[in-house]
Structure 1
Amino acid sequence: MRITVLGGLGAWPSATQACSGFLVEHDDFRLLIDPGYATLQPLLSHVAAAQVDAVYVSHGHPDHCADLQPLLRARVLADRSGPPLPVYAPAGSLDRLLAIDEAGLVDDAYRLSAFTPGESFDAGPFRVDTWRLPHWVPNAGARLTGGTEVLAYTGDTGTSPDLVEMARDADLLVAEATYVDTIPERHEGNLSSAVEVGRYASTARARRVLLTHLWPGTDPAAAVDAARQVYAGPVDVAEPGLVLSV
């Protein structure tokens, strides 16, 4: 399994980095996870729009899904005879996004498979098990199994015992770490810190951690140091172009 980071910021993109987004490749299948703000351009530097085999969206906040819309345009306007793109997302989470274009323009560009967080399904060669994790809107954390390899992805989440189950013995845990240590009161229960990620990664015995969704302006080194206070394994920060093999 190969993971390419398209971006690693939360909330909004910067002049040099997109919001969180990941291209996951396994058995010649390309799964795009969370095409948030500004992820399309770095994606297209790696693969053509038509080469994306499926999309997984954790929740409907635009920093996790906004660039699905131009991706669909890039597919359907270039080749109207191309196959629809399978899109997996919590039920109702993409309704407003998919309705912003002119009526009917991208309807044939995708096939939406809506699910309720907690359900499991197959996406190409991946077995996808999902958990509803605490956030302001329904958010589906996912455990993707390809062969013997496991990638766990949190989306955005507050503290939950389900995080340990989801990340149990994962080869790679890609975890939201908006804050380094202290979470502002207005975000408590809905977002995480690097310290919290380190704690549940250690309990779950995840083999490696990739911190993502950092608040713009956060020092990546500080986030890594915070996670390493309580987690002994390798820790990286999602930065554009970073490639990890599981």
Structure 2
Amino acid sequence: MTKVPSLDKLQELEQKVRELEEKCAFLERVVHEVPANIYLSDLQEGVVWCNKTNEETLGYSLEEIRRMGGLEYMKQIVHPEDLNIPDDSIAHYHEFTGAEFGGVFRAKHKVQEEYKWFMGWAKAFSHEQDGQVKEILCVDVDMSPRMNTDKQLITALQENLRLKNELLIRSLSKREIEILCLVCQGRSSKSIANQLFLSVHTVNTHRRNIQARLGTSNVADLVALAKEAGLG
């Protein structure tokens, strides 16, 4: 025989439901009114959810984003020269599951031509059964009102480049990073080979692979990139 809850118990449950509803409504209001674009991005599909601020700032409703596809949406709003930021973010979380990823990029409203500067951060939000990151939680803040001087703009571009180069460095193996550090110190392949107990041929092979991975064509560019990323 099923036991019928007492009136007091029912009233207590109803009170808890009301409190939960109020809490959910409050949290939903905070998420949608916070002065930052908040969105979830699936590593395969792109943006799958966003808050109201994101819709208002960039002009696309969540319905429109889902209809056009999250990846295509990013291509529409992000400046062509800055598309590496969302791409690098996805690449980052294919390799790393813990560290946060950030970048500076330009994006524009659907019906406007002028791009605004955003500072974005992301962190792993959900995982597949094998532990790989499935979705990332992203927060982008409009920095345009605070970037009204050439100096601030240059600083933003430098930060953007540093983050991009830092990600490239992280793609190297431990041995490649070790060799790159020595190259930054001005060491020759023979000197590096002697220190690491490798053949000169092996060191030169590593150096070629490093340059190919980082997209540099000479030692000077290689060293400059490494130093911009905080290495050497």
Query: Which TM-score applies when normalising by structure 2?
Result: 0.23
Larger Rg: 2
Q: TM-score, normalised by structure 1?
A: 0.23
- Specify which structure has the higher proportion of strand: 1
Greater helix content = 2
Q: Which has the higher contact order (CA 8 A, sep 6+)?
A: 1
